[in-house]
A and B are shown apart, each in its own frame.
Chain A
Amino acid sequence: MFIIKNKWIFITIAAILSLAAVVVISVKGLNLGIEFTGGSIVEVSYEEAPELATVNAALAGFDFNALVQPFGDDGYIIRTRELTEADRGVLMASLELNEQIPQLERFNTIGPTIGSELRSKALLSIILVAIAIIFFIAFAFRKVAEPVSSWKYGLIAVMALAHDVIIPLGIFALVGKEATTLLVVGLLSIIGLSVNDTIVVFDRTRENLNENASENNKEPFAKTVGRAIRQTMARSINTSLTLIAVLSALLIFGPDATKDLAFILLLGTFFGTYSSIFLASPLLVAWNKKKDAE
Chain B
Amino acid sequence: MNRIILRLLAITLLIGGVLLGWFIATSNDTKPFQLGLDLSGGTHLEYKALISEIPEVDRKDSMEALRDVIERRINLFGVSEPSVQTETARLGQDEKQYRLVVELPGVTDVQQAIDMIGQTPLLEFKEKNPDLSLEEFQQALEDATIRLIENQLPEGAVVASDSRDFVEPFISTELTGAYLKRSRLEFQQAGAGNALNTGSPIIALEFTKEGGDLFADITERNIGSVVAIYLDGAPISTPFVQQKITGGEAVITGSFTLEESKILVGRLNSGALPVPVQLLSTESIGASLGADAVNAGMMAGLYGLIFIGAFLLLYYRLPGLIAVVALGMYGVIMLTLFKIIPVTLTAAGIAGFIISVGIAVDANILIFERMKEELQHGRGAYDALRVGFDRAWLSIRDGNISSIISAVILFWFGTSLIKGFALTFGIGVLVSMITAITLTRIMLFAIAPVKVTKIVRALFMSGFNK
Contacts and interface: CB of A to CB of B under 8 A. Distances in A.
B177 interface: no
B358 A133 contact: no
Interface in A110-144: 110-111, 113-114, 117-118, 121-122, 124-125, 128-129, 132-133, 136-137, 140
Contacts of A125: 409-410, 412-414, 418
A119 to B, nearest CB: 10
B421 A132 contact: no
Q: Is the interface of A mostly helix, strand, loop or mixed?
A: helix
B320 to A, nearest CB: 11
B421 A188 contact: yes
Nearest to B44: A108
Contacts of B362: 196, 200, 235, 239
B418 A133 contact: no
Contacts of A181: 348, 417
Contacts of B401: 136, 140
Nearest to A108: B283
A170 to B, nearest CB: 21
B374 to A, nearest CB: 12
26 contacts: A85-B110, A104-B286, A105-B286, A108-B281, A111-B280, A121-B414, A121-B415, A136-B402, A189-B425, A192-B403, A203-B394, A203-B395, A235-B362, A238-B369, A239-B365, A242-B307, A242-B312, A242-B361, A246-B305, A246-B308, A247-B304, A249-B300, A254-B297, A255-B295, A256-B293, A258-B297
Interface in B406-432: 406-407, 409-410, 412-415, 417-418, 421-422, 425, 429
Contact of A129 (B108, B286, B308, B409): B409
A265 B413 CA distance: 22
A122 B410 CA distance: 8
Contacts of A184: 417-418
A55 interface: no
Interface of B: 46, 89, 91, 97, 108, 110-111, 114, 280-286, 288-289, 292-297, 299-301, 303-305, 307-308, 311-312, 315, 347-348, 351-352, 354-355, 357-359, 361-362, 365-366, 369, 373, 391, 394-395, 398-403, 405-407, 409-410, 412-415, 417-418, 421-422, 425, 429
Contacts of B407: 192
A109 B282 contact: yes
Interface string A70-112: 0000000000000001001000000000000001111111110
Interface in A3-36: none
Interface residues of A, number: 69
B405 A253 contact: no
B111 A85 contact: yes
Contacts of B399: 195-197, 199-200, 203
Contact of A253 (B303, B311, B348, B414): B303
A206 B417 CA distance: 37
Contacts of B400: 196
Given A113-B97, A114-B46, A249-B300, 14 more contacts: A106-B285, A121-B413, A122-B418, A137-B398, A182-B351, A184-B417, A185-B418, A188-B422, A199-B395, A200-B362, A200-B399, A245-B308, A250-B354, A255-B293
Nearest to A125: B413
A69 interface: no
Contacts of B373: 231
A113 B415 CA distance: 13
A231 B377 CA distance: 13
A222 interface: no
A207 interface: yes
Interface string A131-171: 01100110010000000000000000000000000000000
Contacts of A247: 304
Given A192-B407, A196-B400, A249-B307, A243 B293 contact: no
B12 to A, nearest CB: 29
Nearest to B295: A255
Given A103-B286, A107-B282, A199 B402 contact: yes
Contacts of A104: 108, 284, 286
A70 B72 CA distance: 41
A254 B351 contact: no
A207 B395 CA distance: 10
A1 interface: no
Contacts of B299: 253-254
A49 interface: no
Nearest to A109: B282
B415 A255 contact: no
Contacts of A182: 347-348, 351
A193 B294 CA distance: 24
Contacts of A242: 307-308, 311-312, 358, 361, 365
